[in-house]
């Protein structure tokens, strides 16, 4: 029996509580959560930013926030994008329903205003605030005032996702973040060249000054090439991912090539330090090796992917998938070893 199980087995009498809470306090009790791990202060050239107050390990939860304003976008008009007039009206309606404190929180957010906007007859200052700070959860556009203080980087140290169970946007560290370092996340897909990323960031009205975009010309060229290669490799490998054992020699040769490509992809993502993609590429490497019945590397990559996915969200479909795959690969690996030892006539302990 392990120490953990032993500790859990200690019977705790149900009538005993650590604190004796008077009933009036219990009614008024609300959980404020642990102290924040960041502070908001000026970030040179970027307005305000969020800076960590102590070093964070990968996977540390940084923020969990419910949207203060939520707007369900109407259908996109073909080739035109979202109808701005409708979005503007919906944002205004949601804003008017807020408390005075909520309104003040929204109005304090930064916004980039395009010159043509202020001259429009129905100009509403809420629209640039919304455009500069809102996130698309896939279901709706939401304004999350705390998350909105995190600046963009093309090599971010955090990732975020919409947690459907909590109905909150969750931000967590994807790598170690040192005390005093600024938190960053990505507003756009990152597997594009600097020029393409610039075009996408235009909608937020700023030119990115992150470490990748302000590097020397040669480093930018190398980074651009790597990102293009990573994008292509992810697309190619993911579109053919299967755990079916190759039925003939030609398919086996192709599967072998794919396993090699999956390791090259891993190296590229690590060289580019795109921690937000690690879980995805570990999964590709795991499945590519499982197909060849190379259970040891398949298990190692699957477990790495599982660990990262689990840091983000223990109960997501992606995490559960990697947990199941890891245990299946371990089983196959054990079976493989048993078969080999039977063949060699040496029993395995
Ligand atoms: C969502 S807000 C981020 C918080 C903002 N800095 C503030 O003061 O509240 C987005 C705005 O921050 C600035 N910003 C964010 N990331 C940046 C970056 N990588 N380079 C330059 N400016 C950036 C831009 O002005 C952008 O419109």
CA of 29 to the centre of ligand 1 (A): 36
Nearest to 283 by CA among 311, 306, 259, 313: 306
pLDDT digits (tens, 9 = 90+) for 251-264: 999 999 999 999 99
Q: In which band, very low, low, confident or very high, does the pLDDT at 121 lie, cut at 50, 70 and 90? A: confident
Please state, in angstroms and as integers, the Cα–Cα distance from residue 29 to each residue in 22, 23, 32, 137, 162, following that order: 11, 10, 9, 31, 27
ipTM of the modeled complex: 0.99
CA distances from 251 to 48, 121, 154, 258 (A): 54, 64, 37, 10
Pocket probe mutation, ligand 1, options 49, 129, 152, max atoms within 8 Å of Cβ: 152
Predicted local distance difference test score (pLDDT) of residue 80: 67
Assess whether the C-beta atom of 152 lies below 6 angstroms from ligand 1.
yes
pLDDT surpasses 70 at 322: yes
Is residue 205 within 6 Å of ligand 1 at its C-beta?
yes
Quick check: CB of 206 below 6 Å from ligand 1?
A: yes
What are residue 69's phi and psi, to 5 degrees? -125, 135
Q: Which domains does the chain have, with CATH numbers?
A: 38-190 (2.170.270.10), 217-344 (no CATH)
Q: What does residue 253 show for φ and ψ, rounded to 5 degrees?
A: -60, -40
- pTM score, whole prediction: 0.85
| 98 confidence band (pLDDT: 50, 70, 90) | very high
Question: Separation of 11 CA from ligand 1 center, angstroms?
Answer: 53
């Amino acid at each position: 029996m392990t120490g953990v199980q032993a500790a859990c087995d200690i019977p705790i009498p149900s009538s005993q509580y650590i604190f004796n809470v008077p009933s009036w306090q219990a009614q008024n009790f609300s959980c404020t959560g642990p102290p924040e791990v960041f502070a908001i202060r000026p970030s040179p050239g970027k307005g305000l930013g969020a800076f960590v107050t102590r070093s964070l390990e990968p996977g540390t939860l940084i923020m969990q926030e419910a949207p203060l304003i939520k707007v369900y976008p109407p259908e996109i008009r073909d080739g035109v994008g979202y109808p701005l007039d409708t979005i503007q009206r919906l944002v205004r309606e949601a804003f008017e329903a807020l408390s005075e404190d909520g309104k003040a929180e929204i109005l304090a957010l930064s916004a980039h205003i395009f010159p043509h906007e202020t001259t429009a007859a129905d100009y509403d200052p809420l629209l640039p605030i919304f455009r500069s700070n809102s996130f698309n959860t896939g279901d709706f556009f939401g304004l999350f005032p705390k998350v909105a203080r995190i600046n963009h980087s093309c090599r971010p140290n955090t990732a975020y996702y919409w947690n459907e169970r909590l109905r909150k946007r969750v931000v967590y560290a994807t790598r170690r973040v040192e005390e005093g370092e600024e938190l960053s996340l990505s507003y756009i897909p990152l597997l594009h060249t600097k020029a393409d990323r610039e075009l996408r960031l235009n909608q937020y009205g700023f030119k990115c000054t992150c470490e990748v975009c302000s590097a020397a010309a040669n480093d930018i060229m190398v980074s651009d090439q790597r990102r293009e290669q990573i994008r292509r490799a992810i697309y190619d490998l993911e579109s053919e991912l299967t755990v079916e054992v190759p039925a003939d020699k030609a398919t086996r040769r192709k599967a072998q090539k794919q396993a090699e490509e999956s390791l090259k992809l891993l190296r590229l993502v690590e060289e580019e330090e795109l921690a937000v993609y690690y879980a995805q590429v570990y999964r590709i490497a795991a499945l590519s090796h499982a197909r060849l019945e190379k259970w040891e590397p398949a298990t190692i990559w699957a477990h790495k992917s599982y660990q990262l996915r689990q840091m983000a969200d223990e109960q997501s479909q992606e995490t559960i998938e990697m947990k199941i795959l890891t245990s299946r690969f371990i089983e196959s690996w054990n079976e493989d070893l048993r078969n080999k030892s039977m063949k060699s006539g040496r029993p395995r302990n």
